Chain A
């Protein structure tokens, strides 16, 4: 287990960061070049003002009509995404790794808060799973990959939670935590988790089209 952990937290950590960053850059740049080659008009439509007007409306809870129509979904999805994003970056244990290895100091969340935020992510995942199975309009769109993505995202949080509390077999869950975290990171550019990369751009484009061409709101 130690050798595996050493490999996962050493070389594979580097690999996963490189895959994540290089993969994300590759996806974004290749899409950018594709736009330049095929849909140049998109650049002519884009506007900073309307891009941010739209992004602002869609990253503010309840600022769009559809968010107000689904309050539970809105609260859950905001809580889920905020915790999903902040917890791994500002977790004390992760900060210690940065500190020990590179002498880089990050502000860290108190452990108790991070624990709750992890639970929020897990609970959000359960909510999305139930929604996927229960609601006809979501179930109809669901493929196996949607479940796999959900598992892929929830796994590092679930294993991290178990490992933090040192339940069952600590070393096993710790190893699994590192592995699942790295899998998720590497999957971002190449699965539909890439909405993390593309959503700002699709939002900005639609915001620009509505703002500068259609003179209408898009929220």
Chain B
């Protein structure tokens, strides 16, 4: 049936997939697939596969499909056909080469953004089916090596970036000291039991984006928030295990995060501008641990800024003048409904918001999320080529005057920077927090 010749540039050599695949036997593949399909998996896999009528209406939902000149292999259902569909049809009797391809498709050709769930007439969740494939490849030990390395880091250090236990408070104290030159009475309160808010961030912030901690500290102090940050592991809200299919590890990470907040007896957890972490603490990790909703309320940065501005706790000195546009991240918009709040915040701090199209729930993915950017350099061009449509969308909004691109999500931010550079967009990619820090009144 496959009448499409594979393009020469198509298969990317990944050490993690290759080395894992070298150890596979047909029996192990079969056993693992059947375990996931019949023991772990339930009705959703069966119903989705039985209900799909192969109509192809999901195709145009996918940025990979659109960016690859409507190549049907990149359509959501096309990806299922090449992976889980075939595994089910052959009852797990697939070979090593098939599994390598399946691992690559599931890990690097789908961002689990769930846009296609809004285009399928039946609401079939292809992102979920791709997660099932990732689960199988995880159990077969063939996850791409870069993202597997971050999962290892989670497992050992409970953070994504191998930040050592002493480095973490050290970094916070360093940023506290830096920020005190601007706001002399500023504190980053560590381990303050009974604070209203625990602020949690993702591993890359202390590792190489410490200025984000600085900005958050200025904001918290200016707004007079009763907040704290933990000095122990559990400060990292990120979760690459959710994306590798390592559900057990995901559970460990999320438990530690929630337990840290519980130990500090905070009323809620406020998290930085990260999308996947929101998905993990708000939707996926909590459910794995048996909580329908997070045991401690989760407030994403967008919602937190919204509350601060609405309540007048932050005053704007002078609005950001350069015209901005907003990229709606899948995990907080399609996954959390924060699109109108984000617009409220941006209108409060910026003079001119120019909408890109499509927007809100229908925005195109950044092509970095879902763990794809975490699969590292081998797949950088796959991400960039796989999201030409994003560049086209951004060029269109730039033509209408937008110069700054706001992306309130770490993965989106990094992915859009790559798009920005490669396609020569020359836009300024910023977090909402970057602009908020810049335009807010900072009391002495």
Direct chain A–B contact by Cβ atoms under 8 Å: yes
Interface positions of A (Cβ within 8 A of B): 31-32, 34-35, 37-39, 41-42, 44-45, 54, 58, 64-66, 69-70, 73, 135-143, 146, 149, 192, 194-195, 198-199, 201-203, 205-207, 210, 213-219
A-B contact pairs, 15 of them (CB 8 A): A34-B43, A35-B42, A41-B287, A42-B44, A65-B119, A66-B119, A69-B60, A137-B65, A137-B70, A141-B72, A143-B1, A201-B47, A206-B124, A215-B338, A218-B117
Are the C-beta atoms of A44 and B292 separated by less than 8 Å? yes
Chain B interface bracket (under 10, 10 to 19, 20 to 34, 35 or more): 35 or more
| B362 lies within 8 A of chain A by Cβ | yes
Residues of A within 8 A of B337 (CB): 214-216
Are the C-beta atoms of B65 and A198 separated by less than 8 Å? no
Residues of B within 8 A of A213 (CB): 283
| B396 lies within 8 A of chain A by Cβ | no
A-contact 0/1 string along B20-54, CB 8 Å cutoff: 00000000000000000000111110111011111
Are the C-beta atoms of A66 and B60 separated by less than 8 Å? yes
Count of chain A to chain B residue pairs whose CB atoms are closer than 8 Å in the complex: 136
A-contact 0/1 string along B57-84, CB 8 Å cutoff: 1011100010000101101011001000
A198 to B333, CA, bound (A): 27
Residues of A within 8 A of B56 (CB): 135, 137-138, 140-141
Residues of B within 8 A of A205 (CB): 123
A38 to B339, CA, bound (A): 33
A138 to B77, CA, bound (A): 9
Are the C-beta atoms of A140 and B78 separated by less than 8 Å? yes
Are the C-beta atoms of A38 and B41 separated by less than 8 Å? yes
Closest partner residue, chain B, to A219 (CB atom): B118
Q: Max chain B CB contacts within 10 Å: which of A38, A69, A137? A: A137
Are the C-beta atoms of B336 and A217 separated by less than 8 Å? no
* Least Cβ–Cβ distance between B77 and chain A, in angstroms: 5
Are the C-beta atoms of A192 and B53 separated by less than 8 Å? yes
Interface positions of B (Cβ within 8 A of A): 1, 4, 40-44, 46-48, 50-57, 59-61, 65, 70, 72-73, 75, 77-78, 81, 117-119, 121-125, 283, 287, 292, 333-339, 361-362
Residues of B within 8 A of A206 (CB): 117, 123-125
A139 to B60, CA, bound (A): 15
A66 to B75, CA, bound (A): 15
* Least Cβ–Cβ distance between A63 and chain B, in angstroms: 11
Q: Max chain A CB contacts within 10 Å: which of B44, B70, B123? A: B123
* Those 4 A-B pairs whose CB atoms lie nearest each other, nearest first: A215-B337, A206-B123, A38-B42, A140-B72
Are the C-beta atoms of A39 and B44 separated by less than 8 Å? yes
A64 to B60, CA, bound (A): 14
Q: Is the interface of A mostly helix, strand, loop or mixed?
A: helix
Closest partner residue, chain B, to A218 (CB atom): B118
Residues of A within 8 A of B61 (CB): 66
A195 to B119, CA, bound (A): 16
Partner of A139, one of B52, B65, B72, B338: B72
Residues of A within 8 A of B73 (CB): 140
Residues of B within 8 A of A146 (CB): 53-54
Besides the known contacts A143-B54, A198-B122, A202-B48, 16 further A-B residue pairs in the complex with CB atoms under 8 A apart: A39-B43, A39-B44, A42-B44, A66-B61, A136-B72, A137-B59, A138-B55, A141-B77, A143-B1, A192-B52, A198-B47, A210-B334, A214-B283, A215-B338, A217-B361, A218-B123
Are the C-beta atoms of A202 and B47 separated by less than 8 Å? yes
Closest partner residue, chain A, to B52 (CB atom): A192
* Least Cβ–Cβ distance between A62 and chain B, in angstroms: 13
A69 to B121, CA, bound (A): 13
Closest partner residue, chain A, to B287 (CB atom): A41
Partner of B122, one of A65, A73, A137, A203: A203
Residues of A within 8 A of B118 (CB): 64-66, 210, 217-219
Closest partner residue, chain A, to B75 (CB atom): A137
* Least Cβ–Cβ distance between A81 and chain B, in angstroms: 10
Are the C-beta atoms of B362 and A58 separated by less than 8 Å? no
Are the C-beta atoms of B292 and A214 separated by less than 8 Å? no
A58 to B4, CA, bound (A): 33
* Least Cβ–Cβ distance between B325 and chain A, in angstroms: 20
A112 to B121, CA, bound (A): 32
